[in-house]
A = this chain, B = another copy of it.
Amino acid sequence: MRIMVLGGDGYLGWPTAMYFSARGHEVAVVDNMIKRFWEQEVGVEPLIPVATLQHRIRRWREVTGKAIKLYVHDIATNPRALYKSFEDFLPEAIIHYAEQPSAPFSMVDREKCVSTQVNNVAGTLNVLFALRHIVPDAHIIKLGTMGEYGTPNIDIEEGWLDITHNGRKDRLLYPKKPGSFYHLSKVHDSHNLEFACRIWGCRVTDLNQGVVYGIDTDETRLDPEFNTSFHYDAVFGTVLNRFIVQAIHGLPLSVYGKGGQTRGFLNVRDTLACVELATLAPAAQGEFRVFNQFTEQFSVLDLAKRVERVAKSRGHVAKIENVPNPRVELEDHYYNAKHSALPALGLKPHLLTDEVVAHMMSVVEASQRRIDPDIVAPTVKWKQR
C-alpha cells in the first residue's frame, strides 16, 4: 500500500514510517521539522540525539535496502506543496501526526495557544481538501487524543454516543470536555473530519490515543541511528518517561497534585500496531470511525509507585513527591473509557509490566549523563496570566 506519514520526523511518525517500510509498503514522509524549532523555543531536547530525518532515511536505505520518500513542507501554510506531494505520491493511506503535540506548549501564552490551534486545524483542513481533489478514496488515519474527552462522570465511548432524550434517540458525537488548548485543537479537528465524511464521503479513522510511553521498537533497534525522540521534559515529555528519568537522576518523582488523575496508556509498539490495524482495515466511504487507542488505565500515582518500586530494585534512590498541580484538572474522578474496537481488529497489547519499566530504565541509564535535570519541573501554569 502507498502510505504517507505526515509528521514523519516525530516521536511516533518516524517509527511508523520504518514499521510500514519494513513490512513492504511504499512509504513517504512529510515534515517541516518545526518540532525541532519548538523544542529550542522552550529550551528542551530529547534524551538521545536524533539525526536529521534526511540522514535517517539515507541510513534506512543502507541498512534495509528500502526507500522512504521525503517531502519537506508545512502542511498548514503551504497547501500548494501539500497538493503537489499528493499528486506525486498518490497515497492510499495518510497517517496524520503532523500537529503541535503538547498541552503545556499550548498553554504558555496567547501566541502559542493561537499558533497551536491554527497550525493543527489548518493543517488538517488542508489535508482534507488535498485528499478530496487528488485522492478522494484515500483513508485518513488521524491521531487524536483521549484528552479530547476529559474526565466525564459517565463511561467514555469510542467517539460516538447513543443518546435517548425525551423519548427520542440519536447517535451523536460523544460530547467533549478537553483540558487544554492543544486538546481543544484535536476536538476541532474531529468535528471538521466528521463533517468531511458526512458531506464529501471521506474515509477517516480518528485514533483517540492515550499517553504513549516507551523508547524503542523493532525497527529503532536495527541501527543506533534509528532511535526516535524520547522526551522527558515538562513540555514535550509524557509522564512515565519523566518518572523514569527522575528516578535514574535521583530527582523526586513529581506527582502533580494528588495523582489521582487516571488516563489511558499504551506502549509505542502498540501505537504502531494500532495504526497498522486501522490502515489495513480502512473506514468505509463516508465513515468517521473513532477508536480509543490505549491498552490500560492507570492513575498518575499508580505509575509513580511502579517506577519507584522498579527503580529501587535497580539500586536507585526513588522517592515520590506531590507538587502543586500546574494544570487545572480533577485529581479524583470517575474514569472508565471503552477501548474494544482495536482489540476486536486483532490488537495484542504490550502491557506495562515491571520488565517493561526495567527495560526502559536500562536504555535511559545508558544515556544517564545526558539528562538535564533543569527541564523536568513544570514551568507552564494553566492559570497564569
When the two chains form their complex, are residues A125 and B117 in contact, meaning their CB atoms are under 8 A apart?
A: yes
Q: Indicate if A369 sits at the interface (CB-CB under 8 A).
A: no
Which of the residues B121, B126, B153, B161 comes within 8 Å of A121, measured between beta carbons?
Answer: B121
Binary CB contact string for chain A from 169 to 199 against chain B (1 if under 8 A, 0 otherwise): 1101111111111001001100110110011
**B-chain residues with CB within 8 Å of residue A122 when the two chains form the complex:** 114, 117-118
**B-chain residues with CB within 8 Å of residue A385 when the two chains form the complex:** 132-133
When the two chains form their complex, are residues A165 and B155 in contact, meaning their CB atoms are under 8 A apart?
A: yes
**B-chain residues with CB within 8 Å of residue A118 when the two chains form the complex:** 118, 121-122
State A163–B164 Cα separation when bound (angstroms): 8
Binary CB contact string for chain A from 348 to 363 against chain B (1 if under 8 A, 0 otherwise): 0000000000000000
A-B contact pairs, 28 of them (CB 8 A): A79-B114, A110-B126, A113-B125, A114-B125, A117-B121, A117-B122, A117-B125, A117-B192, A118-B118, A121-B121, A132-B385, A133-B385, A153-B168, A153-B169, A154-B163, A155-B165, A161-B163, A161-B175, A168-B334, A174-B175, A175-B175, A176-B191, A184-B188, A184-B191, A187-B188, A188-B191, A199-B382, A200-B383
**B-chain residues with CB within 8 Å of residue A166 when the two chains form the complex:** 154-155
**B-chain residues with CB within 8 Å of residue A187 when the two chains form the complex:** 188, 191
Report the contact-size class of chain A (Cβ under 8 Å from the partner). Answer: 35 or more
Across the interface, name the chain B residue whose C-beta is closest to A117.
B121
**B-chain residues with CB within 8 Å of residue A114 when the two chains form the complex:** 79, 122, 125-126
**B-chain residues with CB within 8 Å of residue A132 when the two chains form the complex:** 385
Least Cβ distance of A214 to chain B in Å? 30
Q: Indicate if A378 sits at the interface (CB-CB under 8 A).
A: no
**B-chain residues with CB within 8 Å of residue A121 when the two chains form the complex:** 117-118, 121, 188
Across the interface, name the chain B residue whose C-beta is closest to A148.
B191
When the two chains form their complex, are residues B175 and A173 in contact, meaning their CB atoms are under 8 A apart?
A: yes
Q: Indicate if A71 sits at the interface (CB-CB under 8 A).
A: no
Q: Indicate if A328 sits at the interface (CB-CB under 8 A).
A: yes
Binary CB contact string for chain A from 150 to 167 against chain B (1 if under 8 A, 0 otherwise): 001111010001011110
Which of the residues B161, B191, B382 comes within 8 Å of A165, measured between beta carbons?
Answer: B161
**B-chain residues with CB within 8 Å of residue A153 when the two chains form the complex:** 168-170
Q: Which of A358-385 contact B (CB under 8 A)?
A: 382-383, 385
Q: Indicate if A89 sits at the interface (CB-CB under 8 A).
A: no
Least Cβ distance of A158 to chain B in Å? 13
When the two chains form their complex, are residues B199 and A178 in contact, meaning their CB atoms are under 8 A apart?
A: no
Q: Indicate if A256 sits at the interface (CB-CB under 8 A).
A: no
**B-chain residues with CB within 8 Å of residue A383 when the two chains form the complex:** 199-200
A79-B110, A168-B334, A177-B198 are known; give 6 further A-B pairs, CB within 8 A: A117-B188, A154-B169, A155-B168, A161-B163, A177-B194, A178-B195
When the two chains form their complex, are residues B154 and A199 in contact, meaning their CB atoms are under 8 A apart?
A: no
